[in-house]
Amino acid sequence: MSSHRIDVLTLGNAIVDVLAHTDEAFLVHKNVHKGAMQLIDEARAEELFADMGPATVISGGSAANTAAGIASLGARAGFIGKVKDDATGHHFAHDLKAIDVHYDVALAKDGPATARSFILVTPDGERTMNTYLGACQNLTPDDVNPDTVKASSIVYLEGYLWDPPAAKEAFRKAVSIAHAAGNKVALTLSDAFCVDRYRDEFLGLMRDGSLDILFANIHELQSLYGASDPETALAALREESILGVVTRSAEGALVVTRSETRAVAASPVDQVVDTTGAGDLFAAGFMTGLVRDLDLVDCARLGGLAAAEVISHLGARPQTSLLDLARQEGMLA
């Protein structure tokens, strides 16, 4: 068990999700790319909101979802991300604090509105995200509290937040403080389109010692290495001095180190309702396992359990206690 005050501190976009069930025809009509995340402006956000039908509003954001999963597993989580001092921002902050996630970032008094992601879920459970980033892009190094970073066993960075220059500096500050304190740093690649934009920078972070752990799905990993097939990408990952954790949807996950690659089967799911947050919750389970000193395969099994729970319902945060589920399965004491 970690002696740190916070087990995992996550940094990422603070976003409120607006989810609606829809059909393929609506995606075509609205000219959105199925399964991808597209950035939109405030006018497009209002247009989609008006046309998308009955919606469920849930606090989200990839790294914040991971923090919520860690808290549900009984570990101590923190989050760094920016919202505005508006109704949506207060909703977001309340939801984190209500589940005991440490959140001490000041709300922005001016500038753009709190971020929202309009998530269209098709009958196959695939989610298509249209994201207005708003206030969350204004995260700066000043929002990174050195004491909070030092107190965190693992600092987990969300690749989506690599876009804004000030947020990038906030990342670098967190990495520097974490490593100076002897703590670990993890990055999730977030999205294949995100990787396309920042491939060289992400590879640079892996190779200059900034990262200890990399989370990616197999498509993101192929994008990272410009590989046409999974095997080539995995071979490249094995050459890095890093712990690689690669998810493959229904095929489960791979834990990749220089010395070995271990395959872990996916947890069974009765019905896939909404895949939003599957990767976020997998990372939550895996890192909770790490701070509990579990074997890497058991970390991946715990990640699979958390991912299976979140894809069985609408929304990207757990709706039942993941700690109770893990205890039922004999994964955690």
| pLDDT of amino acid 2 | 60
Q: 3-state class of 221 per DSSP?
A: helix
Candidates 16, 6, 17; CA nearest to 67 is 6
Q: Quick count: other Cβ atoms within 10 Å of Cβ 86? A: 16
Reply yes or no on whether the pLDDT at 303 is more than 70: yes
Candidates 90, 116, 118, 159; CA nearest to 22 is 118
Burial class of residue 113, CB neighbours in 10 A (0-12, 13-18, 19+): middle
User: The tokens of 282 are what?
Assistant: 């997998």
Reply yes or no on whether the pLDDT at 163 is more than 90: no
Candidates 292, 207, 306; CA nearest to 187 is 207
| pLDDT of amino acid 125 | 86
| pLDDT of amino acid 322 | 98
Alpha-carbon span 163 to 52, nearest angstrom? 27
pTM for the structure as a whole: 0.92
Averaged over 125-142, what is the pLDDT?
Answer: 93
Averaged over 59-75, what is the pLDDT?
Answer: 97
Alpha-carbon span 271 to 73, nearest angstrom? 22
Domains of the chain: 6-13+62-111+134-328 (3.40.1190.20)
Give tens-digit pLDDT for 167-184.
999 999 999 999 999 999
Output the DSSP codes for 34-46. TTSEEE--HHHHH
| pLDDT of amino acid 107 | 97
Reply yes or no on whether the pLDDT at 1 is more than 60: no
User: The tokens of 281 are what?
Assistant: 């919750």
